[in-house]
Every structure is written in C-alpha cells, then in structure tokens.
Amino acid sequence: MTKMSALFKTMGWTKFRQINQMILLELIAVAVTGIWTAIKGNFNLATLFYLTASWSMLPYVVGFILLAVSTEKAYTADTFRLIPIEETRFYLMNLLSSLATLVYFMVVQAVLYGLTFWLGWSRISGMLPPMATVGSNVVEPIIVMLLVSLMTALLIWSTISFVHLVTSATSNFLPKFRQRALNVVVYVIVIFITIRVAGFIVHGVAWFARITFNGTDLGQFWLALAAMAVVILVEGALNVFLLKRWVETAAN
C-alpha cells in the first residue's frame, strides 16, 4: 500500500509547480509595470508595494482555479486512482496537498508584501493611521481571517468535488443519447441542492451564534468556521462514498 506521505508528495509536486508558475508571472507583471511606471517618471519607493498589491489578486484567482482543476482531475485519472491507497486517505491527501500549496502561495505573497512594504516604508508610513487607532488586539482577528480564507478555500473545493463526483457517478447511469444535455440538467440540480443545503447549515450556525454571542463577538467567526468545517466534513464523507462506490476513471 502507498503511504499517505508519498501520495501527498506526488500530488503536491504538480500543484506546487503550477503555483510557482503563477508567482513567476506575477513577478514578471510587477517588474514590467514597475519599469513602465519608471519610464513615465512616476516611480517612487512605494510603487513596488502598490504594484504587488494590485497584481496579487490575479495569480491568486487563477492559481485557485488551477488547483481546483488538478484536484478534480485526480479523481478520474487512472494515473492517480490506480495507486493502492484507501479512498478516504486518497481524498484527504488530494485536498490537503491543494491546501498546502495555497498556504505556500499565501506565505510567498506575505513575503512579497513585507519586502515591498519595507522598501516603501518611508513613504507609506506617512499615510498610515497612528498605531493607537489600530487597537491592541490584532492577532486574533488576523488568525480568524486567515482561517476563514483557508476554510473557504476548502469549502469551495469540496463543494466543487461533490458536484463533480455526483455528476460523474450519475452520468454512468444515464443513457448515452443526449447525455450532454442530461448532464447539464444534473449539474444544475446538484449545484442548486448543494448551495441550499450548505446555506441551510451556515444560516443555522449564524442563528446559533446570534443567540449565543449576541452578535458582537469574534466568537461568531469561530462558529462560522465550525459551520464550514461541518459542511466540509459532510461533503467529504459523501465524496469518499461516491469515490468508493460509483465514480469511475475516464477510459483510455
């Protein structure tokens, strides 16, 4: 049997490579626009920070989509599905390798932000509010924000997987005739049901948070995280069941 660490390593490698390409493109974009700004005579110490801030969203979105595509591809490719490992572990390693790659991307962005912020500090510092107005306890909100963004990524990926795996499994049973049209109908139905069920769970937890924390505390966010975790676990269990019982790989 294949070890989970070995699977994590191999699945992570492809994703790591994709994200590095995104980072490289981002750096090229920052360099090119930086040079262009310098040619126009508008370059100052804070320019690189502003350019990094304005370019970082695009590689994040594209990288996120590429990671989702890689994650889904693994479920129906013989290259991955022939690996002798239990489906729950397979599913976990696929999702976790995507998450680890996303964390890596965020760390690189944080370094880029920090570096360009440090370079432009003398100019940027004048525009910042006094430290007293920022507040003393900034650590918890930052941690919660980071966790929310990571959990959101996991939630989106597991929901995409759920829709993908349900449609993949049902397409085996549909007649070949007009299968594409039927697949679209199945996609719409599954997406609608998934959004309604996930929404129901999240709203339920939000209601619980309101009555428990009286709508003012960071505790609401912690409960939102818990709600996301519940949806991710439920979808995860269903995805593993679908992988075990119904989802086939694409034929050669």
Partner 1 sequence: MPNVLAIQGLTYKRNQKLILKNIDLTLETGKIVGLLGENGAGKTTLMRLITGSAQGSGDIMVSDATTATARKAHVSFSEQLHGFNKNVKISRVVDFYQTVYSDFDLNRYHELADFLQLNGELKLLALSKGMREKLIIALTLARQTDLYLLDEPFGGIDSMSRKKIISSIIQWKPDNATMLISDHYVTEIAPILDEIVVVKDQTIAVHQKTDTIRSESGMDIEDYYESLYAGGVDHD
Tell me phi and psi for residue 102, to 5 degrees.
-65, -40
Query: Considering only residues 40, 180, 196, 245, which one is a binding residue for partner 1 as defined by CB under 8 A?
Result: 245
DSSP collapsed to 3 states, 119-152: HCHHHHHHHCCCHHHHCCCCHHHHHHHHHHHHHH
Cβ neighbours, 10 Å, residue 151: 19
Q: Name the one residue in this structure whose structure tokens are 């989970």.
A: 4
Distance CA 96, CA 73 (A): 15
Rule CB under 8 A: which of 21-80 touch partner 1? Answer: 73-74, 77-80
CB of 176 to partner 1, least distance (A): 4
Report the site for partner 1 in 6-25 (rule: CB under 8 A): 6-7, 9-10, 14
* Residue 104 sits in the site that holds partner 1 (CB under 8 A): no
Instruction: For residue 218, give both structure tokens.
Output: 């960071």
Least Å distance between CB 22 and partner 1?
A: 14
The Cβ of residue 243 has, within 10 Å, a number of other Cβ atoms equal to: 21
Which residue's CB is nearer to partner 1, number 14 or number 33? 14
Write the binding mask 171 to 200 for partner 1: x where contact by CB under 8 A, - elsewhere: xxxxxx--x---------------------
Q: How far is CA 53 from CA 5, 61, 110, in A?
A: 35, 14, 10
| Residue closer to partner 1 (CB basis): 9 or 203 | 9
In angstroms, what is the minimal distance from the CB of 91 to partner 1?
12
Q: Of 217 and 248, which has the nearer Cβ to partner 1?
A: 248
Task: Quote the CA–CA distance of 8 and 97 in Å, as a whole number.
Answer: 6
| Contact status: 203 vs partner 1 (CB under 8 A) | no
Q: Write the burial class of residue 228 (CB in 10 Å: 0-12 exposed, 13-18 middle, 19+ buried).
A: buried
Q: Shortest distance, CB of residue 165 to partner 1, whole angstroms?
A: 13
Residues that bind partner 1 in the complex, under the rule CB under 8 A:
1-2, 6-7, 9-10, 14, 73-74, 77-87, 171-176, 179, 244-246, 248-252
